[in-house]
Chains A and B, each alone.
Chain A
Amino acid sequence: MQFFFEVLIGGLLSGVLYALVALGFVLIYKASGVFNFAQGAMVFFAALTFVGFLEILPGWTGWEEGGRAVFWLAFVLSLAAMVVLAIATEKFVLRPLVNQPPITLFMATIGLTFLVEGIAQGIWGANVRGLNLGIADVPIEYMMDNFNILISSFDVFAAAVAAVLVAALALFFQYTRIGRALRAVADDHQAALSIGIPLRHIWVIVWAVAGFVALVAGMIWGARNGVQFALTFTALKALPVLILGGFTSVPGAIVGGLIIGASEKLAEVYVGPFVGGGIESWFPYILALGFLLFRPEGLFGEKHIDRV
C-alpha cells in the first residue's frame, strides 16, 4: 500500500507539471481558437533564453554570477522576449491568417515551431545546459521518516508554483478588464468584435500570457531535466491532458494533468511489467481516447450542440 501511494502521489505531482505545459495550449485555444503546436517550442525558447541571459548577464553587468539580481533581470528579459515573440506572431502569423480554417492556423503554428526552434538554437547554440533554481530535488524527510513515502521537495515546489499560476490566471480572467475581454472573445469572436474589443490586442496579450506560462514551465522542466531541445517534447505530455480536460478549460488542464499523471504512473508500474514496459508513450493517449468516447468534449470542455 505504501508503494501504491508513493506512485500515486508521484504521479499526481508529475501531472501538475504536464498541466503547466497544457495550460499554455488552453489559454491560446480559448482566446483565439488556435491549436498552438508551437507551445512546446515556446517552452524551449523561453527556458533557453532564460539560461542564456543567466550566462551572459554577469559579464554585461558585472553582477554576481548566480545572484538574485541576475536571476530576476534574466527573468524579466526572457519575459520581454516572450512578449516580443507574441507580438511578432500576431503580426506575421495570426493577422494575415485571420478567418482561415483552424487546420491552416494549426499548420502555421507548426511552421512557427521550426522558426522558434531555429531561432532559439541559432542564438544560444545547441549546448545542453543545467539550471539550478535553488530548490533541491531530494525526498522530503518528514514523509520518508514517518510514512516511508518518497515525495520530492522539488515536485512539491513545482506543484505549488502551478497552483499559484492557475490561481493568478483565474483572478486575472475574473477581475481584470482585459480578463473579461478575453473571456468575451473566447465566448464569441464576432460579438466581442462588435462591442469594440480589439481582437489584435487580445491575441497579443493572450500569446504573451501563454509565453509567460511557457517560461515558468520551461524553468521548472529545465531545472528538472536540463535545458535542452528535449524541452519541446513536453508538449507531447501535455496533449493527452488537453483532450482529457478539454481544450478550453483551465481547471480541465489541471484536473486532466492530475488524472493523466497518476494513471500513467500506476499503469507503468502495475501493468507495464506484463507487456514489456515503456507504455507511458501511448497509455495517456489511449486513456484520454477511451475517456473521450464517453465525453467527446473532454472533462470540462463546453458541450457542443449541432444546430441545424
Chain B
Amino acid sequence: MLYREAGQFKASYEADQQIFPILQDRIGVLLLIGFFALAVPLFADQYWLKAILIPVLIFSLAAIGLNILTGYAGQLSLGSAAFMAVGAFGAYNFMLRIDGMPFLVAILLGGLCAALVGVMFGLPSLRIKGFYLAVATLAAQFFIVWALVKIEWFSNYSSSGVITAQEIEILGFAFDGPQSKYLLTLFVVVVMALLAKNMVRSTTGRSWMAVRDMDVAAEVIGIRLMRTKLTAFAVSSFYCGVAGALYAYTYIGTVEPEGFNLDLSFKILFMIIIGGVGSIMGSFLGAAFIVLLPIALDVFVPMLLGDLVSSSFVSNLQLIVFGGLIVFFLIVEPHGLARLWQIGKEKLRLWPFPH
C-alpha cells in the first residue's frame, strides 16, 4: 500500500523524465543517501568504513564504468583494471609534479588520462566484435601494466615501482581519517553515479544502447558508430580511471602496477554481471555482493565447519562455494540483482493485495 504510483500523474514531460519518477523512490533514494552520508560515518566502525564501504564504493564506480561500456554500449572489455591503473598513476603524477594541484582536479585529470588511453584501445572496436574484442582488450590489460612497470617515470623512479598516494587536502581540510576518506569517496561516487545516470537516460545513452542492440540499425538512423563507441570507451575508462585514483588515494594508499591485474578486471566484470548488465543501480549491488561474499564465506565457513576439516580445505571450499554461487546466480537470475530489485518493487506495488 505504501509503494504506489497510482494518483501520481505527470503533468509535464519534465516530471516524467526524472530519474526516479515515483515519489516513494525519490524519498527512498534520498533516505539512502542520507543514511550513508550521515548515519554511517557516525556509527560505523573503522573496519566497516575501511575494509568494506570504501572498497564497495570504489568498485561500484569502476563497475559503473564497465557497465557503460559493456552494459550500455555492448562492448565486452576485460581491461578495466588497467584503466584503473592509468587513473591512479595519472593522478599521482599530477599531484607530484604540479605544485598546489587540487586533489579533485588531479583525480579528474587521472580519469582523463585513462579516457585517452581507453579511446586508443577502443579504436579496434570499430572492426572487431564480441569475444574477439574481449580478448583484444586483454592487450590493454597486459600492455598498460607492463608499461607502468617498465617506464620508471610513472612511479617517480621508485626502486620497487610502487607509488604512494600523497595526503589528501581540500581547501585546507586534511582527509586523513576513515570517516573523512569515506565521505569524500561517497561524494565522488554519488556525483559520478548521478552523471552516469543522466548520460544513460539521454541521447548519449540511447545511442550506446542502440549500438549495443543493433549496430546496423543504429547506423541507419544516423548514429555514428565510431563516435558512439569511442565515447563509450572514453567515458567508461574515465570512470574506471577515477575509481583507480580513489583506490590509490582513499583506499589502499600505496599501490603497485601488478595490483591492477587481470583478476581485478574479472572481478569488476563479475560485479556488473551479478549486479545487472545495463543498470547503474546494479553496479552498486554487484560491487557490494562481490566484495562481501568472499568475506562472509571466510567468516562463516570456518565457523560452521570449525576443526572438522583442515584450513586448506576451508579455503578451497570458499572458492568452490563462490564459483558455485556465481553459476547458481546466473541460472536463477541472469539479469542480476538489479532485476531482483525491480521484481521486488513490483511485488511491493501490489502488496498487501495478492493481485
* Chain A positions near chain B (C-beta within 8 angstroms): 35, 92-93, 96-97, 100-104, 106-108, 110-119, 121-122, 125-126, 236, 239-240, 242-243, 247, 275-276, 278-279, 281-282, 285-286, 288-289, 292-293, 296-298, 306, 308
Contacts and interface: CB of A to CB of B under 8 A. Distances in A.
Given A97-B334, A115-B320, A122-B313, A247 B131 contact: yes
B136 A292 contact: yes
B191 interface: no
Contacts of A107: 269-270, 273, 326, 330
A243 B320 contact: no
B interface secondary structure, majority: helix
Interface stretch (B2-10, B89-97, B142-150, B243-251): B142-150
A86 B216 CA distance: 38
Given A282-B142, A292-B136, A308 B330 contact: no
A240 B334 CA distance: 28
Interface residues of B, number: 43
B319 A242 contact: no
A296 B127 contact: yes
12 contacts: A96-B331, A111-B326, A112-B323, A112-B327, A114-B326, A118-B322, A119-B320, A121-B319, A125-B312, A281-B146, A288-B139, A296-B128
Contact of B129 (A121, A236, A286, A296): A296
A108 B330 contact: yes
Contact of B143 (A286, A288, A292, A308): A286
Interface string B295-330: 000000000000000001100111110111111001
Contacts, number: 133
B266 interface: yes
B138 interface: yes
Interface of B: 70, 76, 124, 127-132, 134-136, 138-139, 142-143, 145-146, 150, 216-217, 262, 266, 269-270, 273, 277, 312-313, 316-320, 322-327, 330-331, 334
B139 A117 contact: no
B135 A285 contact: yes
Nearest to B324: A115
B131 A102 contact: yes
A108 B326 contact: yes
B323 A111 contact: yes
Contacts of B127: 292-293, 296
Given A103-B273, A125-B312, A282-B146, A118 B136 contact: no
Given A111-B323, A115-B327, A119-B320, A289 B136 contact: yes
Contacts of B145: 281
A112 B329 CA distance: 12
A35 B76 CA distance: 13
Given A239-B138, A296-B128, A118 B323 contact: yes
Given A103-B70, A111-B330, 6 more contacts: A97-B331, A122-B312, A122-B317, A122-B320, A275-B150, A289-B124
B270 A110 contact: yes
A103 B277 contact: yes
Contacts of A111: 322-327, 330
A114 B124 contact: no
B259 to A, nearest CB: 16
Contact of B131 (A35, A92, A306): A35
B330 A97 contact: yes
Contacts of B319: 114-115, 117-118, 121
Q: Report, nearest first, the 8 A-B pairs whose CB atoms are least far apart.
A: A114-B323, A111-B326, A118-B319, A285-B139, A115-B323, A118-B320, A122-B316, A282-B142
Contacts of A106: 131
Nearest to A101: B334
Contacts of A298: 132
Contact of B136 (A103, A113, A243, A247): A243
Nearest to A233: B262
B142 A281 contact: yes
B135 A104 contact: no
Contacts of A116: 323
Most buried by B among A96, A285, A298: A285
B135 A239 contact: yes
